Amino acid sequence: MVYLADIPDERDLSALYHDYSDYKQLSSGRGSWLYRLSPLKPAEPHIEILLQSGGLRGRRLCEVGCAKGAFLVHARKEGAAVVGVELDADSVRTLTELGIAVEPEVQGEARFDVVCAFQLLEHLARPAEFIHKAARALVAGGRLLLALPNGGDAERVGPGWVGFRVDLEHLNYFTVATLARLLGMHGLFVEQFWECQQPNLPRGRSGATRVGLGRRAQEWLSGMMTPAWHRGGSFNLVVLARK
């Protein structure tokens, strides 16, 4: 794996993630009014993986680092009993308004059929500790679905890889091989994995992004008709593991 040698102080990390939604300008789990009114909605790729690997109806699902609950809303519509784990104060308020149970961490006695963490592992100073807790929370045969930046791209490109500059709060990067070894240490095996997508790095004049209404509509319709899961690239690594 690739990791940051000088890990920030834990108090500084806690302060960052307490107000992380403002820093990242996270959108509401409800989606925009245009999205809600549209009769055509793209498939949520992580939901599709779970539907095809054992289903969601009647399953207990926990998403760690769930932000404002967009994925959990999808999972709940598919019949899952959902719980979120989140530190950001504004996101916790939104989740409460959505009627989604939220905790500051995975509770020791909690057991789930599915645990998900999307774009989380790379933020953790102790990723092995998280994998241990996730494995303990899963029932036998339970699924762990992870999405994270692909450290395999870093291996192929080297120090100039754009991933090192997209999110400067990332502390580590895994390849599928190093992640599989970590999962194996905790009784989890990799069932499937995917490399997909590229980072969206638009640049306008003087660094500002200016996109006309027509172009925005075109991009929105394109995104609606072509799920992100099917777009090319290898920037992200998605791993489905089973206990």
The per-residue pLDDT for range 28-66, each reduced to its tens digit, is: 555 554 545 555 555 789 999 999 999 999 999 999 999
Average pLDDT of every residue of the chain: 86
pLDDT at position 149:
96
Q: Would you say residue 173 has pLDDT above 70?
A: yes
Model confidence band, residue 26 (pLDDT cutoffs 50, 70, 90): low
Could you give the CA distance from residue 56 to residue 54 in angstroms, rounded to a whole number?
Answer: 7
* Domain at 43-199+211-242: CATH code: 3.40.50.150
Quote the pLDDT of residue 205: 52
Contacts of 83 (CB under 8 A, 6+ apart): 60, 61, 62, 63, 100, 101, 102, 103, 110, 112
What would the pLDDT profile of 192-240 be if each residue is shown by its tens digit?
999 998 877 766 654 444 555 655 555 555 555 545 554 678 999 999 9
Give me the mean pLDDT over the 99-115 stretch: 94
Backbone angles phi, psi at 139, to 5 degrees: -75, 165
* CA dist., res. 187 & res. 220, Å (int): 41
- List all residues 6 or more positions away from 20 whose beta carbon is below 8 Å from its beta carbon: 26, 87, 88, 91
Res 37: pLDDT: 52
- Label the pairing between strands 2-3 and 81-85: unpaired
Residue 189, classed as helix, strand or coil, is strand
pLDDT average, residue stretch 161-185: 94
Higher pLDDT residue, 35 or 111? 111
Query: Using the 8-state DSSP alphabet, how is residue 121 labeled?
Result: G
Span 91-107, average pLDDT: 94
